[in-house]
Amino acid sequence: MAGRVFVFGSLNMDIVASVPLLPVLGETVASTTMTFLPGGKGGNQAVAAARAGAPTSMIGRVGEDAFGRTLRRFLADNGVDVARVESVGDRPTGTALVTVDTAGDNTVVISSGANDTLAPAAVDVSGLTPEDVVVAQFESPVSAVSTFLAAAGSRGATTVLNAAPARDLPPDLESSVDILVVNENELATLSGRQVDSESPTSAILSAITAVPGSRAVATIATVGSRGVVGRLGDLDYALPARPVRAVDTAGAGDCFVGVLAARIAAGDDLGVGIRHANTAASLCVQRPGGAPAMPTWDEIERSA
């Protein structure tokens, strides 16, 4: 029986400015366009999982405002169960200020808002089964993330942590993560090694093994145009990115995580799931925005 995906995390309205070049310190640049797009790492990952065919539920918080209503409606319209998305009256919906240049590179500034109210008390995993996959990130309070993953793991569900934004892995999370997904910046923070998208595969694998305390079954690093490098059990793994012209890379990592969770829930083994997630990310970067850029399963299959 196929499992379900439960995403515990952030919901933001992305305010996206398109610019010729990303500004440097003290510089002012003119935006060519300004758009408002549903996002947040949790919301992006939930939409990616749902569009990839998994029954998906979102657990998160929004404000009692227009952005919150828009986000709930967008999730529901994309097949995500929003019964566990609560509205709070004392905080605005989270927002992200995003600048994207003509090469598709971006900078992001987050105002957490209602996301900060997602507390351990919100965790209810009584209905989870070993076929289910749960996903969390670090855009929500870490105490709540730790409680959620530990509780989900105790029910036998597969736990996926996207350790983003970059921060050290708290000790109480070390035994609760089955699959750890990071980009090169997050891997550098966790490992204490200097790695970037230009680092050789051997250096990235060395950094993965240097992540202190992680007992993850698999650690996967998404390294931009280089593709994916990981350690799956005792095996080293590398998969090149598909050559495409990137328009906006902002949601690529979230797309990878959501589709990977969906394919694991569908019964794919990890290697197959990574290949599908890599394909999905290559489609995502060719479109603007976060959640709206996530591909459908039909598109992923046609591009495989």
> Which residues participate in catalysis according to the annotation?
254
Q: Is 253 annotated as a binding residue?
A: yes
Q: Is 248 annotated as a binding residue?
A: yes
Residue type, 97: L
Q: Is 183 annotated as a binding residue?
A: yes
- The C-alpha atoms of residue 252 and residue 48 are separated, in whole angstroms, by 10
Q: Is 227 annotated as a binding residue?
A: yes
Q: Is 168 annotated as a binding residue?
A: no
Is 266 within 8 Å of 2 (Cβ atoms)?
Answer: yes
Q: Is 26 annotated as a binding residue?
A: no
Q: Is 230 annotated as a binding residue?
A: no
Q: Is 81 annotated as a binding residue?
A: no
Q: Tokens at residue 240, please?
A: 């090149």
Q: Is 43 annotated as a binding residue?
A: yes
Cα three-residue angle 242-236-181, rounded to 5 degrees: 65
Q: Is 56 annotated as a binding residue?
A: no
Q: Is 60 annotated as a binding residue?
A: no
Q: Is 254 annotated as a binding residue?
A: yes
Q: Is 109 annotated as a binding residue?
A: no
Give the residue numbers of the binding site.
Answer: 12-14, 40-44, 139, 183, 222-227, 248, 250, 253-254, 278, 284, 287, 289
Give the residue numbers of the binding site for substrate.
Answer: 12-14, 40-44, 139, 254
Give the residue numbers of the binding site for ATP.
Answer: 183, 222-227, 253-254, 278
